[in-house]
Amino acid sequence: MERELKSVPGVATFAGGCFWCMAPPFLNHPGVAEVISGYTGGHLENPSYETVCSGGSGHYEAVQVLYDPAQVSYEALLQIFWQQIDPTDAGGQFYDRGESYRTAIFYHDEAQKSAALASVKQLAGSGRFKSAVVTKVLPAEAFYPAEDYHQRYHEKNPLHYKSYRLASGRDAFIRHYWKPPQ
């Protein structure tokens, strides 16, 4: 079932590979009310995890961030997004491969589109990465919340979540590209 979000002041949608790994950085930020793991960008209604992961549905694993624009800007959310992904990998993220693990920013209005495109341009021109930034900026489409066991997975299964992040290479990548030297 598609979630109706019109009563929320701010909605941002990001695909950054495994949605388990994308939710905590946003949830821990002031001004973010909720983060919903789900699927977007595909051609089937009400997809399941199995359908999305098997390929062919066109969906991305994504997170929908519900936030208060008076407390956190969309630009700040974009910065959080960039610092969780490898924006140069068109085939997935870390050891998660395939179309459902591609990266994208799904904009909900023209202001978000402009901010997203500006952030892509800024990152591409920064010299931070040797390869081209391939993260797409796309119009928001229907968003389908993932099954309950995927919501706040890091809280429900902390040991598995931590070992998954470590083994995937995501944390090492983030430390290498985004954290200042110690």
Is 108 part of any domain? yes
| Residue 94 covered by a domain | yes
182/167: higher pLDDT = 167
Active site residue 18: yes
- DSSP strand E in 55-120: where? 60-67, 92-93, 96-97, 103-107
Which pLDDT value is given to residue 8?
58
pLDDT digits (tens, 9 = 90+) for 48-93: 898 998 888 999 999 999 999 999 999 999 999 999 999 999 999 9
Segment 137-169, tens digit of pLDDT: 999 999 999 988 899 989 899 999 999 988 999
In CATH, what number is assigned to the domain containing residue 74? 3.30.1060.10
Strand pairing report for 96-97 and 143-145: unpaired
**Domain count of the fold of the chain:** 1
Catalytic residue among 11, 12, 18, 123: 18
Residue 117 structural domain: 10-178
pTM strictly above 0.75: yes
Amino acid at 140: A
pLDDT at residue 41 above 50? yes
Is residue 31 assigned to a domain? Answer: yes
CA distances for 31 relative to 19, 26, 35, 137, 147, angstroms: 20, 9, 11, 23, 25
Residues 6 or more apart whose CB falls under 8 angstroms from that of 178 comprise: 83
Is 1 among the domain residues? no
At residue 4, the pLDDT reads 44
pLDDT tier for residue 180 given thresholds of 50, 70 and 90: low
Give me 17's structure tokens: 């590979």
Domain membership of residue 134 (yes or no) is yes
Sequence-ordered strand ranges (E) for 17-102: 32-40, 60-67, 92-93, 96-97
pLDDT at residue 182 greater than cutoff 50: no
| pLDDT for 40 | 97
